[in-house]
Amino acid sequence: MAELALNRQAFARRGRQLEYFTIAWNTLEGLVAVIFGAMAGSVSLVGFGIDSFIEVASGSTLLWRMSVDADEEKRERNEKLSLRIVGVCFLALAVYVAYESASDLLSRKQPEHCIPGIALACVSLIVMPLLSRAKKKVGNALASAAMRADAKQTDFCVYLSVILLAGLLLNAALGWWWADPIAALIMVPIISKEGIDGMKAKSCCEWQATNMPTKFPPSG
């Protein structure tokens, strides 16, 4: 029992470290994406940046949730409420991106080439899969629905990075102005799914009933 408790503490500490990194990275990512996206007139890049800021809110919520883990009843209620609030934010973002993308397509608004946006998407494709894998390991060890949901959001960020990169590259290399708003429109169902999953707000106890491991995996 003592060994299990020590392992759990180690994984909880690792989870907090991952969330601190997530918050720092997504803050930087969001600032770069929104600033350069606004300068280039790229709705896909701006949407990607706003998504990063929502991820910051989600990571901050999870970090707080993990720091007040003692009261199980409040923990479950706060987790559900937090997930639903983040879910609403994602749904609002999906509506915004869909509207702006459709407007750009109808007005044939051509975004400028954005090399910083291309570089950001490339770096994100390296960082996000590694971060997601680390979060899944912690989520499985702690039987934490919140951490697993956060890892899933990180996976979505990988998909968004691929779509963003494709749109920016097609616009820069071939002059396909419509590639950027089309890329943003492709993001809409992915962002919407994040929002719907958050609104469902599956609790830790519900997740544990079907997924909780019998033993903590060895630390390290």
Instruction: For 182-217, write each residue's pLDDT tens digit.
Output: 999 998 998 898 888 878 765 444 544 444 444 444
Indicate the pTM of the whole model.
0.77
Instruction: Identify the sign of the CA torsion 180, 182, 186, 192.
Output: positive
CA–CA dist 86, 90 (Å, integer): 6
CA–CA dist 220, 210 (Å, integer): 25
C-alpha to C-alpha distances, 210 to 96, 122, 220, nearest whole angstrom: 36, 36, 25
> Residue-wise over 68-84: b if at least 16 C-beta within 10 A, else e?
eeeeeeebbebbbebbe
- pLDDT-derived band at 74 (thresholds 50, 70, 90) equals low
Instruction: Identify the sign of the CA torsion 140, 145, 148, 150.
Output: negative
Task: Give per-residue pLDDT as tens, 8-35.
Answer: 778 878 888 888 999 999 999 999 999 9
Task: Give per-residue pLDDT as tens, 153-174.
Answer: 788 888 889 999 999 999 999 9
- Two tokens, residue 184: 């943003």
- Two tokens, residue 185: 């429109």
| Average pLDDT of every residue of the chain | 81
CA-nearest of 125, 9, 99 to 47 is 99
Domains by residue range for the chain, with CATH = 2-201 (1.20.1510)
